């Protein structure tokens, strides 16, 4: 556990245990409940950050004479869709179309807004945005809808839309570009003790690290 | 040496199929947890080789003697993925005192896979001995898995009879291996470790909680993916 990740990460997101999510990515949505559960168990709140990763690629129809690499990518993509849906069933989550690729900036700026101005509403915001987007009831690029959602959970939205088009957007673009350059290319990304872990399967490791490495390590 | 003629990538007379490749660090990390499943449930796993064609989906690269990239056709995204995967595998390996030295090229692991089939036909103890030795030494860069004499020596050390092995590798075994690799891939098994339970594919050891849940008759709520520790796994 000694290999350091990109040294620019602390300057971007600090040293606190962090979680990076992308609202349009179903793996982020599936990680929500187990990550909240770990926060509750440990009595702490992770530092949640929005990132932008590549949208999932819709599997192409099988082609006659497709090469092995193309076939590999297609069957891998089909597998991942099946896999995400079977685990969504574990949590009773609806997963709409996986392959939408909306501009997530406004919803992500909303996350930063809540963190700064109403941190107690952070979980409600994450929950509402993910659930409604994945039930195909919310457009992530609709500033009015995000503004309304913020108000619904009790967050003051005075000047939110101006912020989302001005300084908020500038800061957000800088953040996501910086995080991508620092090695955050997948989600959910957990950053603990300077190490990046992609995927909720690492939550036992995150717990083990944050509880002082006591007991048997995860396998 | 006779082996079954019928082959179905998703079916076995064993309750669990596990596809592995000796050149995959993630498959190496799944080995001991898989042994633990055999012991916990009193079952035998149907261990099968899946010889990955890595360049077809992840590009290829070769390092020189100093560890620098001498040749590569990988994209920056592919490099990011490969580097993360090694770092991730290595940090979990280090916690179990397993050595994972980065490979200097993409190895042809088919001969080691043939050796595994040969060992499997001679019993579980020999199979385990062979798998343990190959993984341990290959990832310490102490084993040339493309050298038939080296693979034979590991088989012998593991207690396997060798009469006919060379002919097997040059004939029936090789033909069968190549045909099966195509069947496995065409059926949708694309990576390792891959677990098959009740005809359902699970790619990656993070699915071990689910595999255990299925093997136990679906007792309790279905679990999520997780790299848990051994005791937590057994408690499921």
In the structure encoding, which two tokens stand for residue B99, read together? Answer: 């050595």
Interchain CB contact of B35 with A (< 8 Å): no
Gap from B162 CA to chain A (nearest CA, Å): 35
C-alpha–C-alpha distance, residues A207 and A197, integer Å: 12
CB A179 within 8 A of CB A49: yes
Q: What percent of chain A has pLDDT over 70?
A: 97
Vertex B140: Cα angle to B55 and B155 (nearest 5) = 90
C-alpha–C-alpha distance, residues A113 and A152, integer Å: 14
- How confident is the prediction for chain B on average, in pLDDT? 92
Q: Kindly state the average pLDDT of the residues B34-51.
A: 97
Q: Kindly state the average pLDDT of the residues A204-218.
A: 95
Residue of chain B nearest A207, judged by CA positions: B228
Q: What is the predicted pLDDT for the residue at B63?
A: 67
On the question of pLDDT at B148 being above 50, the answer is yes
Gap from A42 CA to chain B (nearest CA, Å): 17
C-alpha–C-alpha distance, residues A17 and B14, integer Å: 43
Q: Kindly state the average pLDDT of the residues A8-27.
A: 94
Q: What is the predicted pLDDT for the residue at A4?
A: 44
B56: nearest CB among A1, A72, A199: A72
> pLDDT band for position A7 (50/70/90)?
confident
C-alpha–C-alpha distance, residues A73 and A76, integer Å: 5
CB A197 within 8 A of CB B226: no
Residue that wins the pLDDT comparison between A105 and B68: A105
Q: What does A126-144 look like in DSSP terms, one character per residue?
A: HHHHHHHHHTT---TT-HH
Beta pairing partners, B46: B17
Q: Is the ipTM of this complex over 0.90?
A: yes
> pLDDT band for position B78 (50/70/90)?
confident
Instruction: Please name the residues between 62 and 81 in chain A that touch chain B, using a CB distance below 8 Å.
Output: 67-69, 71-73, 75-76, 78-79
A69: nearest CB among B56, B88, B96: B56
CA-closest candidate to residue B77, choices A53, A46, A90, A5: A53
On the question of pLDDT at A199 being above 90, the answer is yes
Pairing label, strands B45-49, B200-203: unpaired
Interchain CB contact of B11 with A (< 8 Å): no
> pLDDT band for position A6 (50/70/90)?
low
Vertex A17: Cα angle to A14 and A19 (nearest 5) = 95
CA-closest candidate to residue B230, choices B33, B77, B80: B33
Decide if B201 and A79 are in contact by the 8 Å CB cutoff.
yes
> pLDDT band for position A2 (50/70/90)?
very low
On the question of pLDDT at A3 being above 50, the answer is no
Distances (CA, A) of A178 to A21, A52, A103, A107, A168: 15, 11, 18, 18, 15
Gap from A199 CA to chain B (nearest CA, Å): 9
Gap from B186 CA to chain A (nearest CA, Å): 9
Decide if A219 and B230 are in contact by the 8 Å CB cutoff.
yes
Q: Is the peptide bond before B193 cis (omega within 30 degrees of 0)?
A: yes
Q: What is the DSSP letter of A169?
A: H
Predicted confidence (pLDDT) per residue in A48-105, tens digit: 999 999 999 898 889 888 888 899 999 999 999 999 999 999 999 999 998 999 999 9
């Amino acid at each position: 556990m000694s290999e350091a990740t990109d040294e620019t990460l602390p300057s971007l997101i600090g040293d606190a245990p962090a979680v990076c999510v992308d609202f349009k990515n179903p793996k982020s949505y599936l990680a929500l409940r187990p990550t909240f559960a770990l926060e509750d168990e440990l009595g702490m709140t992770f530092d949640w950050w929005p990132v932008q990763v590549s949208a999932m690629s819709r599997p192409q129809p099988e082609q006659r004479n497709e090469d092995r690499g193309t076939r590999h990518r297609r069957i891998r993509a089909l597998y991942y869709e099946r896999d995400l849906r079977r685990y969504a069933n574990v949590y009773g989550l609806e997963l709409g179309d996986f392959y939408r690729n909306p501009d997530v900036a406004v919803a992500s700026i909303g996350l930063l807004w809540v963190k700064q101005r109403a941190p107690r509403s952070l979980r409600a915001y994450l929950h509402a945005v993910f659930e409604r987007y994945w039930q195909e009831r919310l457009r992530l690029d609709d500033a009015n809808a995000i503004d309304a959602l913020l108000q619904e959970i009790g967050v003051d939205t005075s000047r939110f839309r101006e912020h989302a088009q001005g300084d908020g957007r500038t800061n957000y673009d800088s953040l996501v570009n910086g995080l991508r350059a620092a090695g955050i290319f997948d989600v959910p990304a957990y950053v603990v003790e300077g190490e990046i872990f992609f995927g909720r399967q690492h939550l036992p490791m995150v717990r083990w690290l944050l509880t002082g490495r006591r007991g048997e390590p995860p396998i | 040496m006779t082996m079954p003629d019928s082959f179905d990538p998703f079916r076995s007379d064993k309750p669990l199929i596990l596809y592995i490749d000796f050149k995959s660090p993630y498959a190496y990390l799944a080995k001991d947890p898989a042994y633990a499943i055999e012991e916990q449930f009193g079952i035998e796993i149907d261990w099968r080789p899946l010889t990955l064609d890595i360049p077809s989906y992840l590009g290829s690269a070769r390092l020189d003697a100093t560890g620098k990239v001498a040749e590569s056709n990988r994209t920056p995204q592919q490099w990011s993925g490969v580097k993360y995967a090694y770092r991730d595998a290595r940090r979990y390996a280090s916690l179990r005192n397993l050595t994972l030295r980065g490979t200097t090229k993409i190895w042809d692991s088919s001969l080691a896979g043939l050796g595994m089939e040969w060992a499997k036909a001679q019993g579980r103890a020999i199979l385990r001995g062979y798998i343990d030795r190959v993984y341990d030494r290959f990832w310490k860069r102490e084993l040339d898995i493309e050298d038939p004499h080296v693979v034979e020596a590991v088989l012998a050390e593991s207690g396997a009879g060798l009469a006919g092995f060379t002919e097997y590798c040059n004939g029936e075994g090789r033909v069968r291996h190549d045909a099966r690799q195509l069947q496995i891939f065409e059926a949708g098994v694309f990576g390792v470790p891959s677990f098959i339970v009740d005809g359902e594919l699970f790619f990656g050891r993070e699915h071990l909680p689910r595999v255990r849940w299925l093997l136990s008759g679906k007792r309790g709520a279905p679990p999520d993916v997780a790299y848990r520790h051994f005791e937590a796994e057994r408690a499921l």
